[in-house]
């Protein structure tokens, strides 16, 4: 027997909560009956709120990449349990990496390849434009807009939202975009067709991919970044110079060593003020400044949060039957120690593991994720920590193919694979053996 709010309940065809004696939820009105406003205090009690409650065996808050793989993970174990996905996005779960890569550079990669098909494949009930606003772990309830959802197991997969560009935007986002969603892609694509010159702010992988995408689509592109050379925070100096040269050779104007301190966007275009007093003008601006991890719900619910929702090896948060995965989760990596990872391989694998555990698998997440980026025909992948302030050992087979090992106190903590295919497991093996490997063991180790 299903129990909600501690009492016996029945489930309607729509999975609505119909609980005898429950004063929080309003059962559906009989045919023809008019809703009463305010609700009848005799029937519903003085504090009654006109909310409906919908029950899901598995409720996922966040409708991104983790939501998709978690729903698939649940289905590997439980064919029938109801799955609800609450998403404040306007699109069903989709693949984000394509938004800054293949959709711009591969004519055969058309829009129909972007949605992940979550609802069709898993039967999940995906509620779009539905923002969760509160979680009550002790009651096993989540509020979203004017509804309440009750759950058997809850997964937090809220990812993060882009760090905003500090400018005065009078265009309501029409000429000043951040870049995270499919809607952002559609807006930037329309701008790329309408205007001549677009500024990209941020030299991380999203900023650099967007600059490459725009220039390859005929847009006059200026890339503003804080490093001395593009990529110099992660790549050794020589490699960063080669990386930046790819962009210059393609026609991207690079404004290095510069931080946007302010500016204005209006119908005439954007004007960006740099910290050094210089100014950059363009018709529009798109920024890739990283994300602010979306932990507000977890914090408000009293869950342990420390640079993300803290989870254990089975991805369980600090309240019963609540899990977290993906960009929002701070988890203990088997090889690399506790961390939060903002990359797609982690979203896919951790989402699947979380889904399986929601459905009772009780398995530890042991996958150490890799990440990748692709620009101008180059693909690099990495496992572990890439930080150019660490000592590096470079092993190049030719100018285009090589491996860089990052060492902290003589111990390998990160491996970069530059145009080296099928070597991610080799990189993980190096990290697993880090305690015993010397630097002489590294050259030639991965080919
Ligand atoms: C343009 C782009 C390119 C990328 N390229 C790469 C790449 O090449 N390689 C790589 O390794 N990684 C890449 N990534 C990163 C990768 O896509 C993310 O790590 C991954 O999407 C994280 O998945 P997630 O489900 O944790 O978060 P997300 O996919 O961000 O999903 C979070 C979802 O939660 C929703 N949400 C948040 N709060 C609420 C709320 N309160 N109520 C309801 N819904 C809510 C959001 O709207 C969103 O739908 C890229 C990311 C972007 C944006």
Q: How do residues 280-296 score in pLDDT, each as one tens digit?
A: 999 999 999 999 999 99
Of ligand 1's listed atoms, the one at least distance from the Cα of 98 is 3
Question: Do 110 and 226 have their domain in common?
Answer: no
Res 42: pLDDT: 42
Cβ contact 431:412 at 8 Å: yes
Asked whether residue 1 is assigned to any structural domain, the reply reads no
What are the tokens at 397?
């087979």
Question: Do 279 and 424 have their domain in common?
Answer: no
Respond yes or no on whether the N-terminal peptide bond of residue 38 is cis (omega within 30° of 0).
Answer: yes
Res 146: pLDDT: 87
**CA neighbor of 135 nearest in space, from 377, 257, 298:** 298
Cβ contact 116:93 at 8 Å: yes
Cβ contact 92:102 at 8 Å: no
pLDDT at 10 over 50: no
Q: Tens of pLDDT along 184-215?
A: 999 999 999 999 999 999 999 999 999 999 99
Rounded CA gap, 439 and 447, in Å? 16
Q: How far is the CA of 181 from the centre of ligand 1 (A)?
A: 8
Res 32: pLDDT: 52
Q: How far is the CA of 415 from the centre of ligand 1 (A)?
A: 24
Q: How far is the CA of 180 from the centre of ligand 1 (A)?
A: 7
301 CB within 6 A, ligand 1: no
Question: Do 433 and 395 have their domain in common?
Answer: yes
Q: Given the DSSP bridges, would you call strands 83-86 and 52-61 parallel, antiparallel or unpaired?
A: parallel
Res 51: pLDDT: 62
132 CB within 6 A, ligand 1: yes
Q: Tens of pLDDT along 385-397?
A: 999 999 999 999 9
Res 262: pLDDT: 98
Rounded CA gap, 243 and 103, in Å? 22
Asked whether residue 85 is assigned to any structural domain, the reply reads yes
Rounded CA gap, 40 and 221, in Å? 61
pLDDT at 110 over 70: yes
Mean pLDDT (whole number) for 141-165 = 97
Cβ contact 129:107 at 8 Å: no
372 CB within 6 A, ligand 1: yes
Question: Do 113 and 182 have their domain in common?
Answer: no
Does residue 414 sit in helix, strand or coil? strand
Asked whether residue 37 is assigned to any structural domain, the reply reads no
Rounded CA gap, 371 and 346, in Å? 8
Last residue of a domain, one of 368, 392, 420: 368
Does residue 326 sit in helix, strand or coil? helix
Mean pLDDT (whole number) for 272-279 = 97
Structural domain range at position 71: 51-162+292-368
Q: Going edge to edge, which strands form the sheet with 269-274?
A: 168-169, 260-266, 269-274, 279-282
pLDDT confidence tier of residue 13, bands split at 50, 70 and 90: very low
Cβ contact 261:167 at 8 Å: no
**For ligand 1, atom 27: residue with the closest CA:** 159
**CA neighbor of 61 nearest in space, from 259, 303, 260:** 303
392 CB within 6 A, ligand 1: no
Q: Tens of pLDDT along 125-143?
A: 999 999 999 999 999 999 9
- Which CATH number goes with the domain that contains 237? 3.50.50.60
Task: Return the H-helix or E-strand segment holding 55.
Answer: strand 52-61
Mean pLDDT (whole number) for 217-228 = 98
In the chain, the N- to C-terminal Cα span, in Å, equals: 58
329 CB within 6 A, ligand 1: no
Asked whether residue 31 is assigned to any structural domain, the reply reads no
Q: How big is the chain by its Cα radius of gyration, in Å?
A: 24
Asked whether residue 40 is assigned to any structural domain, the reply reads no
Distances (CA, A) of 96 to 92, 118, 183, 377: 12, 14, 11, 19
344 CB within 6 A, ligand 1: yes
**CA neighbor of 53 nearest in space, from 152, 158, 154, 144:** 144
Q: Report the domain count for the chain.
A: 3
Question: Do 282 and 220 have their domain in common?
Answer: yes
75 CB within 6 A, ligand 1: no
Average pLDDT over the chain, rounded to whole?
Answer: 91
Q: Tens of pLDDT along 15-58?
A: 444 443 333 444 444 455 444 333 444 444 445 444 689 999 99
What are the tokens at 438?
């010397």
pLDDT at 7 over 80: no
**For ligand 1, atom 35: residue with the closest CA:** 62
pLDDT confidence tier of residue 382, bands split at 50, 70 and 90: very high
Mean pLDDT (whole number) for 237-258 = 97
- Which CATH number goes with the domain that contains 402? 3.30.390.30
Q: Tens of pLDDT along 53-107?
A: 999 999 999 999 999 999 999 999 999 999 999 999 999 999 999 999 999 999 9
Last residue of a domain, one of 308, 337, 368: 368
Rounded CA gap, 118 and 93, in Å? 7
Res 43: pLDDT: 41
CA angle in degrees (0–180, nearest 5) for 142-143-145: 150
Buried b or exposed e, range 14-44, using 16+ CB within 10 angstroms = ebbbbbeebebbbeeeeeeeeeeeebeeeeb
pLDDT confidence tier of residue 121, bands split at 50, 70 and 90: very high
Q: Which of 182, 323, 327, 341 to mutate to test the pocket of ligand 1 (most atoms within 8 A of CB)?
A: 327
Rounded CA gap, 105 and 87, in Å? 29
pLDDT at 334 over 50: yes
Q: How far is the CA of 63 from the centre of ligand 1 (A)?
A: 9
Question: Do 234 and 282 have their domain in common?
Answer: yes
Rounded CA gap, 180 and 118, in Å? 19
Per the listing, tokens 């329309």 go with 190
Question: Do 261 and 146 have their domain in common?
Answer: no
Rounded CA gap, 74 and 89, in Å? 22
158 CB within 6 A, ligand 1: yes
Say what percent of the chain tops pLDDT 90: 87
135 CB within 6 A, ligand 1: no
Last residue of a domain, one of 289, 307, 336: 289
Of 47 and 314, the structure prediction assigns the larger pLDDT to: 314
**For ligand 1, atom 30: residue with the closest CA:** 159
Res 31: pLDDT: 56
Question: Do 193 and 266 have their domain in common?
Answer: yes
Res 422: pLDDT: 95
Question: Do 266 and 176 have their domain in common?
Answer: yes
Question: Do 151 and 213 have their domain in common?
Answer: no
Mean pLDDT (whole number) for 97-121 = 97
**For ligand 1, atom 7: residue with the closest CA:** 97
Res 34: pLDDT: 45
Q: How far is the CA of 78 from the centre of ligand 1 (A)?
A: 25
Res 145: pLDDT: 86
Beta bridge partners of 383: 370, 415
Give the list of residues 6+ apart from residue 93 with CB closer than 8 angstroms, or none. Answer: 63, 64, 65, 67, 68, 85, 87, 115, 116, 118, 126
């Amino acid at each position: 027997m299903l129990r909600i709010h501690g009492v016996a309940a029945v489930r309607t065809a729509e999975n609505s909560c119909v609980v005898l004696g429950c004063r929080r939820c309003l059962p559906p009105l009989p045919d023809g009956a008019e809703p009463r406003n305010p609700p009848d205090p005799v029937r519903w009690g003085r504090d009654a709120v006109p909310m409906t409650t919908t029950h899901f065996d598995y409720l996922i808050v966040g409708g991104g990449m983790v939501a998709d793989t978690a729903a698939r993970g649940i289905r590997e174990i439980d064919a029938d349990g109801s799955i609800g996905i609450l998403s404040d996005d306007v699109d069903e779960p989709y693949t984000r990496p394509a938004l800054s890569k293949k959709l711009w550079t591969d004519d055969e990669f058309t829009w129909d390849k972007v949605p992940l098909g979550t609802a069709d494949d898993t039967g999940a009930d995906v509620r779009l434009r539905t923002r969760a606003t509160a979680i009550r772990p002790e009651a096993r309830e989540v509020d979203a807009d004017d509804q309440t959802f009750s759950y058997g197991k809850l997964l937090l997969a809220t990812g993060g939202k882009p760090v905003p560009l500090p400018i005065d935007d009078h265009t309501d986002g029409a000429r000043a975009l951040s870049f995270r969603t499919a809607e952002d892609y559609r807006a930037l694509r329309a701008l790329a067709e309408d205007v001549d010159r677009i500024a990209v702010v941020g030299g991380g992988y999203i900023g650099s991919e967007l600059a490459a995408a725009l220039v390859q689509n005929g847009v006059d592109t200026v890339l503003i970044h804080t490093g001395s050379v593009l990529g110099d925070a992660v790549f050794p100096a020589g490699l960063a110079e080669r990386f930046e040269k790819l962009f210059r050779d393609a026609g991207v104007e690079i404004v290095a060593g510069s931080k946007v301190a302010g500016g204005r966007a209006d119908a005439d275009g954007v004007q960006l003020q740099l910290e050094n007093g210089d100014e950059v003008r363009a018709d529009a601006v798109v920024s890739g400044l990283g994300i602010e991890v979306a932990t507000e719900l977890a914090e408000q619910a009293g869950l342990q949060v420390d640079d993300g929702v803290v989870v254990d090896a089975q991805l369980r948060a600090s309240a019963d039957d609540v899990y977290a995965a993906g960009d929002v989760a701070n988890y203990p990596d088997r090889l690399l120690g506790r961390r939060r990872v903002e990359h797609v391989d982690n979203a896919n694998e951790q989402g699947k593991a979380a889904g399986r555990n929601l459905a009772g698998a009780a398995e530890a997440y042991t996958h150490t994720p890799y990440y990748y980026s692709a620009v101008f025909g180059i693909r690099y992948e990495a496992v572990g920590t890439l930080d150019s302030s660490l000592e590096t050992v470079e092993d190049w087979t030719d100018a285009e193919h090589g491996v860089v090992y990052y060492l902290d106190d003589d111990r390998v903590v990160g491996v970069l694979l530059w145009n080296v295919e099928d070597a991610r497991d080799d990189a993980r093996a190096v990290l697993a053996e880090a305690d015993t490997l010397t630097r002489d063991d590294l050259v030639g180790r991965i080919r």
